[in-house]
Amino acid sequence: MDRGRDFRVYAMAEIPSIALLVEDFAKHVDGFSIGSNDLTQLVLGTDRDNEILVRQDPRYFDERDPAVLRAMYEIIRRAHAMNKSVGICGQAPSVYPEITEFLVRAGIDYVSVNPDAVITTRLLIDSIERKILLEELKELRTKLMNTDPDTEFRNILNKVFKG
């Protein structure tokens, strides 16, 4: 059966093996959608619905755990190397701004959140992207300022007057 021109197939990246076998799965899909809740549960080997564990120590189910972040990062990095897009669905981006920043810096292509979190999340992502651009501009400025004055002068002339 032929699929339509605009039809896309995405794999839910909710189990740790996807992070390890992205290249194998990528052959069959157009992209990946990280399911942060299930991925966290399975990477940490804990039951996210077990209130006793969470009351004992909230870290039993914490999407900010380095192992979970590493799995997300590997999915993004390896999928992008295969020219596949990656998004995330789940509560992590709307609950933890630091996860949103981590994902944006890692190159996530889209973030899916509940309707009540859309505006806040969009503003947060905009703020993060501006922060990243400013950091890159500062790095560029530092590099330019560390060149010899004649080279810097010529570079400025070339940029302003196009040669």
Q: What is the pLDDT of residue 100?
A: 96
pLDDT in tens, 81-119: 999 999 999 889 989 999 999 999 999 999 999 999 999
Of 42, 21, 44, the closest CA to residue 32 belongs to 21
Q: Taking the model in full, what pTM does it have?
A: 0.81
Instruction: State the pLDDT at residue 163.
Output: 54
Q: What is the pLDDT of residue 91?
A: 85
75: nearest Cα among 47, 107, 48: 107
Answer whether 121's CB lies under 8 Å from 93's CB: yes
Query: Residue 37 in contact with residue 15, Cβ under 8 Å?
Result: no
In this structure, are residues 128 and 101 in contact, taking their beta carbons and an 8 Å threshold? yes
CATH topology of domain 10-133: TIM Barrel (3.20.20)
**Euclidean distance between CA atoms 42 and 45, whole angstroms:** 5
Reference 75, options 44, 111, 29, 106; nearest CA is: 106
From CA 67, how far away is CA 40, in angstroms rounded?
9
CA dihedral 111, 61, 132, 144 (to 10 degrees): -140
Annotated domain spans of the chain: 10-133
Spans of the chain below 70 pLDDT: 1, 147, 163
d(CA 110, CA 113): 10
